[in-house]
Structure 1
Amino acid sequence: MSDDLLLNKFPDPTWARLGFPEQPNFHDSGQNIGIVIIDKISPHDKIRHLGSRIKYITVNDDLSIVVRNIAFETPSDSHDDSGEHGLMTVLALSHEPFEVQGKSYVGIAPAANFIVLDHGAFKDGEGERLKKGIEWVLTNQNEWNIKIILNMGWHAQDNLVLLKNTSENSTVQALKSAVDKGILVISSNGNTRLINILPPYSFLTVGGYNDRGNANRSMHLPYPDEPYGRNADGHFRPDVLAPRVYLTIPFYEGKENIDRVSYYWGTSGAATLVAGVAAYLFSMFTNLNPATLRSALIEYGDPIVGYDYPAPRVNVAKVVYALKKGMQSMDLQEHSDSLQIKDVYEAINSVDDIEKGLALSNLVQHQLCPRDELWRFTLDKSPVIRKIAVYALGKPINNEERRVFWNRIIGEKEGGVRGWYAYGLLQDAEKKEVAKWISLSTDTNWTVRWCVSEYLAKFPDTFPKLEKTYDPDLIKSKALPIQEWLNINK
């Protein structure tokens, strides 16, 4: 990917950015530790070195299971990218050492064992297929020494805005047997504040931050569109943070090029790095249990100064030091009980925004909240409630509502709420609104910028394109060409 040219230098290796005391040993880091990755993967020459240490498990619709030796398969010439996400995950964890411009890169836990589990996510019946896949995992737990399950799409087919207790989620249900068996489930927290639902407390949940590709922690900043807060059970999420930008892996997108690398982005990448850290620690401290590991990552992380959410950045060196000193597990049971509501119409007036959100979600799902009431909830003090209300409104139904949507998106401080206003406005957008749309091109919310891009793409013969970016530091420069176009063509 070309964004490396915009940095003027290659990013520091991910191991350095995570605070490793030294580069992970290619032959030792994560040795004999089994990591299950819930994802698809494509064959590639870059994973051939894993040999028999990686298996690809597919659960079919009839619940039959196919086991493939993916490392030995020949890469396809097709342009199907459905397995790209899993490939990037495996590369971030296990790629062979390489050097670029004097910097040494290596996977976080390259000596681990890997099982990629494809259960046909985001399709009907996914919960039953995942349960079947987890049965296979537990049957083979001892043989593969499975300690970690990396789950980056925990929300499954759930609505991302409407709240419900996490115990109702099919992925959570399918993974419960693994959690009960002492396997550490690591989950990404989500990539944008557009969402309301966040992972359960039983998962070690990983958010991201903007480290600018730099190991120097004084340069690290919060990611401006990072979701955080209480999940539908009332538990604060995420537990820890890891880098989510410019996660460097070997160049896999075409022919070899010694001067290029590829990048993994988002909290999928951040959670992958933490899974690698966990495998590294499990292999170093053979008697380490998941509760102590989780405690150590939280207790000995580094908070971001000035950030209004306390989840710390993972600092591997501090964790290693603490474990060598014999730290004990903290009590992680303080949030074990989930928030429940008994009466929807009583909870809708609650001062607790999650109770209120559960009630409003229930009313929206059952079409029991009239439009004038939804408009009232768009003025609620809680962004959780405002997101539900604006999402439920959908698009403006007349010119007056459209005018209000534009006024609200300009005045709204919370990025996720702005994202839903933008999505509603996109539905019946007209050419004459171009100046309003381009004014949103530097918004910190990804969905707002995506909507700007989609709006401009509706009129390709008239308007220029907006090049989107995951790098917060590049948002303004990417928007500059379309802003200059607007100044010329007013």
Structure 2
Amino acid sequence: MLRVRQQVGCSDEIVSSCKGKGRGVTIAMLDTGVSSHPDFDNRIIAFMDFVNERKRNYDDSGHGTHVAGCICGSGWVSGGKYKGIAPESNLVVGKVLDDKGDGNVDVMAKGIEWVLSKQKEYNIRILNISIGMGENTEKSRMEKLIRLVDEAWRCGLLVVCAAGNTGPDPMTISPLGARRNVITVGCHEGGYFGNSGHLCEDYSSRGPSAYVMKKPDVVAPGTDIYSCNAGIIRRGRYYRNAYVAKSGTSMATPIVSGGLALLLQKYPFYTNEQAKQKLLYTARDLNEPWNKQGWGMIQIDRLVAEG
């Protein structure tokens, strides 16, 4: 995460400048769950298990914990090296995927309905969905899910979705990320790895979508991102296996959610429409085709700047 923060202009000074009236923005996350990693302090304020109906927060896959760390891990175990983008944000987590990262449309729909029911209670401003949905779902059930995503945006949530990992062919954007209003995030390393192969940007899903020509909206780094590991082990005062590297648009998506959380910390009066517009207009053009980069790489220093 250290190199990611450097790439997207998220220095400690920038984070400190965002400690305004909106301190502690709440982000809802639908994923495989979240573990009680020390980097989350006491900021997991609600958890609901739609898979196994367990009461306490957990993550039997590790995907959700990694995503959560990218969003708002404090980096405490690493001395700050692997802290997330918005380390003061709170989390509301719905477990909608099992230990293999599999799920279904009906469970996902229940997760979104739960987030909407808790929106006012927890002052949820952002919904992070680092999940790619396939096209092989019954049309009526997928349409219900898409309507719920649209409803979440109409209710004022900033809905941030992964583009998916089925590129590089065009028209491969995940159905949830294909909608006009949601913020769809693809992968791009901005040249950090040079001409290396096996980069997330090589398989990041491409636009256009079935609903709107210009997708994805923005990109963020997604290759070998080090973040919180659900398999962390405590040995006395010390920890082992506290962090792990993962790749994919799932990792790029929380970078954007974290950036938006900083924006809302500094400007809590922003609507989701205003926040999305500023995100797009402050992105850095990478001189890539639109269906690969959208408006470009998220630049958090520009995003939270005045004006």
The Cα RMSD (Å) is 3.7
| Residues 220-274 of structure 1: per-residue CA shift (max 9 Å, x gap) | x992333322112242210001011132224654546689842232111100110
1:59 equivalenced with 2:50 (yes/no):
yes
Aligned equivalent of 1:38: 30
User: Which residue, 139, 156, 159 being the options, matches 1:182?
Assistant: 156
Give the whole-Å Cα distance in 2 for the aligned partners of 1:26 and 1:37: 25
Aligned equivalent of 1:320: 304
Verify the 8 A CA contact 1:12 1:213 in the aligned structure 2: no
Aligned equivalent of 2:183: 204
| Alpha carbons of structure 1 residues 286 and 26: separation in structure 2 relative to 1, 3 Å | closer
Verify the 8 A CA contact 1:15 1:24 in the aligned structure 2: no
Give the whole-Å Cα distance in 1 for the aligned partners of 2:18 and 2:41: 12
Verify the 8 A CA contact 1:34 1:147 in the aligned structure 2: yes
Give the whole-Å Cα distance in 2 for the aligned partners of 1:234 and 1:294: 16
| Alpha carbons of structure 1 residues 273 and 43: separation in structure 2 relative to 1, 3 Å | same
Unaligned runs of 5+ in 1: 1-10, 74-80, 326-490
Question: More helix per residue: 1 or 2?
Answer: 1
User: Which residue, 193, 202, 221 being the options, matches 1:224?
Assistant: 202
| Residues 20-56 of structure 1: per-residue CA shift (max 9 Å, x gap) | 25363599597332211111225344356125x3322
Aligned equivalent of 2:289: 308
Three-state SS of the structure 2 residue aligned to 1:187 is strand
Give the whole-Å Cα distance in 1 for the aligned partners of 2:202 and 2:36: 34
Aligned equivalent of 2:276: 294
User: Which residue, 244, 268, 274 being the options, matches 2:256?
Assistant: 274
Give the whole-Å Cα distance in 1 for the aligned partners of 2:160 and 2:8: 16
| Alpha carbons of structure 1 residues 120 and 159: separation in structure 2 relative to 1, 3 Å | same
Q: How does 1:25-424 map to 2 (within 5 A)?
A: 25=16, 28=19, 31-46=23-38, 49-50=41-42, 53-59=44-50, 68-70=55-57, 82-98=60-76, 104-120=81-97, 123=103, 126-127=105-106, 129-155=107-133, 157-159=134-136, 168-193=142-167, 196-198=171-173, 199-211=178-190, 223-250=201-228, 253-255=231-233, 261-305=243-287, 307-309=288-290, 311=294, 312-321=296-305, 324-325=306-307
| Alpha carbons of structure 1 residues 110 and 67: separation in structure 2 relative to 1, 3 Å | farther
| Alpha carbons of structure 1 residues 177 and 69: separation in structure 2 relative to 1, 3 Å | same
Instruction: Give the residue type in structure 2 aligned to 1:84.
Output: G
Aligned equivalent of 1:396: none
Three-state SS of the structure 2 residue aligned to 1:87 is helix
| Alpha carbons of structure 1 residues 103 and 93: separation in structure 2 relative to 1, 3 Å | closer
Give the whole-Å Cα distance in 2 for the aligned partners of 1:252 and 1:82: 8
What count of residue pairs does the alignment treat as equivalent?
286
Greater Rg over alpha carbons, structure = 1
1:19 equivalenced with 2:9 (yes/no):
yes
Give the whole-Å Cα distance in 2 for the aligned partners of 1:48 and 1:97: 9
Three-state SS of the structure 1 residue aligned to 2:245 is strand
TM-score relative to the length of structure 1 = 0.51
| Alpha carbons of structure 1 residues 36 and 239: separation in structure 2 relative to 1, 3 Å | same
Higher relative contact order by CA 8 Å / sep ≥ 6: 1 or 2?
A: 2
Give the whole-Å Cα distance in 2 for the aligned partners of 1:120 and 1:56: 14
Verify the 8 A CA contact 1:89 1:272 in the aligned structure 2: yes
Three-state SS of the structure 1 residue aligned to 2:41 is helix
Give the whole-Å Cα distance in 2 for the aligned partners of 1:134 and 1:260: 30
Instruction: Give the residue type in structure 1 aligned to 2:153.
Output: V
Give the whole-Å Cα distance in 2 for the aligned partners of 1:297 and 1:290: 10
Give the whole-Å Cα distance in 2 for the aligned partners of 1:67 and 1:303: 44
Cα distance, 1:172 vs. partner?
A: 1.4
Give the whole-Å Cα distance in 1 for the aligned partners of 2:242 and 2:92: 28
Three-state SS of the structure 2 residue aligned to 1:237 is coil
Cα distance, 1:194 vs. partner?
A: 6.0
| Alpha carbons of structure 1 residues 232 and 68: separation in structure 2 relative to 1, 3 Å | same
Unaligned runs of 5+ in 2: none
Identity of aligned residues (%): 21
Verify the 8 A CA contact 1:39 1:85 in the aligned structure 2: yes
